[in-house]
């Protein structure tokens, strides 16, 4: 499979090259040259397949030419080595829990798949690759954990000081080995701007092999399709599901739509957003207007210009009517998010995290208007990652899973830095 740049000014590349580059030289996102079609039999018998078999079947065409069957099987089985349970919340709504991985958020799958691909592609190279990534919270932990101990790769994570939760901070500052955390005196937007500047800097690119690990990377984006197949695998005859995805950079939902176009039966998609409402506004007005992000209690979705939305447009050949028929998008305020978290806890004894609560609200509203349909929300993070909000709202402590309990005993190690690109550059050149 080859990948073209959505800006169409750079040549097409293999999966390997798209993974190593992250972004095309013309700054476009890479996009698969064709969308594979899964066999009817595979979909019909999906509940008889293992997670590993599904992973290989779905990913195989995308990596063809870059990974052989054995390598793909190994990478897939290391990637999906935990549970993805579909849990019933009430008669109409199910939660696909994507937080059973090592860093308790859905980003583990993409980060694990990408890190193993990059490790494999790097196996015979002398020079190390430096993965540079900015995080608002969950990306950093998933990338740190995914790349920990991967040979030939150093990871540098920039995060905004004081703006991530305790568990999130410990996940990205306690790995050691090939992982370094830079604690920036600034906001997430500052961190992202510094990283962007680094990728554009001549001196840095002459000295280091820099790559990103954010969701624009095809090796992080594409394996997220698997969640939707795992959901279908556990879905029993309630008609086609409506699937609601808490969305920030729109990588996850875009992968779901891609899975659907390949043959996965889905009634409708809902992209649930917090106050960062660029996409809901666009679907209403046809006018795409990026704006600075605003801080909310579902902070992993605080994105003012979702980078993967352009891929969704490409999937629908930029036809707004077709897009609107299959995908809706709504915005949910922090007040509503807290109210829903509390309601669902009281009524159904189910503890959502703030991101899942945004999705619940959007899905529940949609199902009131389509009352013979059933829905699945993607629960993208464990509530323990956001204890302040969750415990204040439910009034009870969140049970701490083993992986987080272990973290709380470790000591944070970070390097403090001002939000100044020159400081970052000097540090990278001398590292």
- Kindly state whether residue 215 participates in binding ligand PLP, applying the rule CB under 6 A: yes
How wide is the angle at C-alpha 350 spanned by C-alphas 349 and 351, nearest 5°? 120
Tokens of 206: 């002459």
Cα distance between residue 78 and residue 74, in whole Å: 6
- Kindly state whether residue 301 participates in binding ligand PLP, applying the rule CB under 6 A: yes
For 389-418, b where at least 16 C-beta lie within 10 A, e where not — what string?
bbeebbeeebeeeebbeebeeeeeebeebe
User: Of residues 32, 55, 223, 246, which one binds ligand PLP by CB under 6 A?
Assistant: 246
Helices and strands (DSSP H and E) totals, the chain: 20, 14
Size of the site for ligand PLP (CB under 6 A): 16
Cα distance between residue 378 and residue 360, in whole Å: 9
CA atoms within 13 A on the CB side of 106: 31
- Ranges within 381-400 binding ligand PLP (CB under 6 A): 381
118/273 with CB nearer ligand PLP: 273
User: Of residues 119, 248, 256, 383, which one binds ligand PLP by CB under 6 A?
Assistant: 248
Tokens of 54: 């599904």
122/173 with CB nearer ligand PLP: 173
- Kindly state whether residue 251 participates in binding ligand PLP, applying the rule CB under 6 A: yes
Q: Of the listed pieces 1-9, 20-28, 166-174, 245-253, which binds ligand PLP according to CB under 6 A?
A: 245-253
4 φ, ψ to 5°? -105, 160
277 φ, ψ to 5°? -115, 35
CA atoms within 13 A on the CB side of 257: 26
With contact defined as beta carbons under 8 Å apart, do 400 and 266 qualify?
Answer: no
Beta carbon of residue 96, minimum distance to ligand PLP (angstroms, whole number):
13
User: Of residues 192, 249, 328, 351, which one binds ligand PLP by CB under 6 A?
Assistant: 249
62/221 with CB nearer ligand PLP: 221
> What is the dihedral sign for C-alpha 154, 158, 162, 168?
negative
108/190 with CB nearer ligand PLP: 108
Residues known to be catalytic: 107
- Ranges within 72-131 binding ligand PLP (CB under 6 A): 105, 107
Beta carbon of residue 215, minimum distance to ligand PLP (angstroms, whole number):
5
Beta carbon of residue 175, minimum distance to ligand PLP (angstroms, whole number):
18
With contact defined as beta carbons under 8 Å apart, do 398 and 391 qualify?
Answer: yes
Binding mask 343-362 for ligand PLP (x = CB under 6 A): ------------x-------
User: Of residues 23, 115, 171, 252, which one binds ligand PLP by CB under 6 A?
Assistant: 252
The binding site for ligand PLP (CB under 6 A) comprises: 105, 107, 138, 215, 246-252, 300-301, 355, 380-381
């Amino acid at each position: 499979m080859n990948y073209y740049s959505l800006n169409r000014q750079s040549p097409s590349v293999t999966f390997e090259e798209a993974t190593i580059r992250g972004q095309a030289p013309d700054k476009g996102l890479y996009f698969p040259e064709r969308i594979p079609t899964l066999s009817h039999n595979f979909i019909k018998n999906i509940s008889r397949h293992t997670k590993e078999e599904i992973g290989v079947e779905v990913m195989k065409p995308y990596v063809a030419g870059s990974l052989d069957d054995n390598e793909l099987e190994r990478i897939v089985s290391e990637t999906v080595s935990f549970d993805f349970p579909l849990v019933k919340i009430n008669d109409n709504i199910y939660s696909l829990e994507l937080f059973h991985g090592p860093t308790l958020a859905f980003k583990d799958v993409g980060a694990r798949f990408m890190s193993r691909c990059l490790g494999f592609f790097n196996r015979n190279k002398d020079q190390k690759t430096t993965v540079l990534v900015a995080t608002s919270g969950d990306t950093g932990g998933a990338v740190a954990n995914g790349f920990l101990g991967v040979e030939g790769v150093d990871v540098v994570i920039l995060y905004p000081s004081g703006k991530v939760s305790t568990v999130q901070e410990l996940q990205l500052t306690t790995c050691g080995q090939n992982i370094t955390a830079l604690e920036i005196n600034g906001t997430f937007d500052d961190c992202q701007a510094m990283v962007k500047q680094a990728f554009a800097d001549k001196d840095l690119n002459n000295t280091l092999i820099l790559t990103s690990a954010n969701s624009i990377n095809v090796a992080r984006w594409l394996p997220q399709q698997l969640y939707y197949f795992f959901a279908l695998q556990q879905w029993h005859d309630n008609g086609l599901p409506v699937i609601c995805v808490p969305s920030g950079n729109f990588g996850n939902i875009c992968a779901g739509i891609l899975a659907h176009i390949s043959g996965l039966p889905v009634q409708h998609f809902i992209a649930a957003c917090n106050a960062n409402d660029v996409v809901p506004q666009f679907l209403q007005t046809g006018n795409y207007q990026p704006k600075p992000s605003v801080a909310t209690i579902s902070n992993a979705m605080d994105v003012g210009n979702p980078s993967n939305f352009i891929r969704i447009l490409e999937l629908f050949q930029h036809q707004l009517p077709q897009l609107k028929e299959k995908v809706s998008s709504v915005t949910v305020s922090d007040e509503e998010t807290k109210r829903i978290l509390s309601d669902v806890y009281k009524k159904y004894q189910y503890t959502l995290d703030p991101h899942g609560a945004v999705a619940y609200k959007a899905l529940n509203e949609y199902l009131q208007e389509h009352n013979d349909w059933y829905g699945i929300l993607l629960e993208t993070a464990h509530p323990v990652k956001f204890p302040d909000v969750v415990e204040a709202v439910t009034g009870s402590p969140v049970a701490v899973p083993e992986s987080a309990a272990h973290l709380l005993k470790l000591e944070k190690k970070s390097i403090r830095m001002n939000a100044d690109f020159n400081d970052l550059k000097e540090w990278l050149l001398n590292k």
